[in-house]
Amino acid sequence: MTIDTLALTAKGRIRPEWIDYNGHMNVAYYVLAFDQGTDRFLADMGLDADYLRAGGSTFALEMHVTYDRELHLDAPYEVRTQLVDADTKRLHLFHRMFHAEEGWLAATNEVITMHIDMATRRSAPFPAVIQDSVDRMLTAHAKIPRPDGLGRVIGIRRRSTEA
């Protein structure tokens, strides 16, 4: 399995209302597109609308977005998602957004989600059928190289100055 074979979890074109005063896609809409990718990925693992109606869900715990190259009005994009880690309650996803026609990387999104029992609004282990799906996906995605930028820490890089 390679990055090219990862599931396509979101796609579309950059809409006029997504363009900001700098003439490119606004940061909020990158997060929206990545969230649509998360929703699709979760649905493919069994955490779909029926599951939500039955009382289970996930909440985002932490997120990191990089903006690597500008997307402009009407540009086609696609999001591909990799499961980089998981346990009995959490999923660690890494999304990559590409220009859908030219293939270059536009942005990345790293997110950790927590499985929630909506009756208590507390974390809860995945049901066995979902855990099986998580384990299978994690095994399959372990064959893909870890993404560049995974676990990236935000900060201003300083050059050392030696006298």
pLDDT confidence of residue 162 = 55
Which tokens go with 37?
């990718």
CATH code assigned to 3-141:
3.10.129.10
Domain ranges in the chain? 3-141
SS (H, E, C) the chain: CCHHHCCEEEEEECCHHHECCCCCECHHHHHHHHHHHHHHHHHHCCCCHHHHHCCEEEEEEEEEEEECCCCCCCCEEEEEEEEEEECCCEEEEEEEEEECCCCCEEEEEEEEEEEEECCCCEECCCCHHHHHHHHHHHHHHCCCCCCCCCCCCCCCCCCCCCC
pLDDT confidence of residue 160 = 77
Global pTM?
0.92
Average confidence (pLDDT) per 10 residues, the chain, 163 residues? 77 97 96 97 94 95 96 98 97 97 96 97 96 95 90 85 59
pLDDT confidence of residue 7 = 84
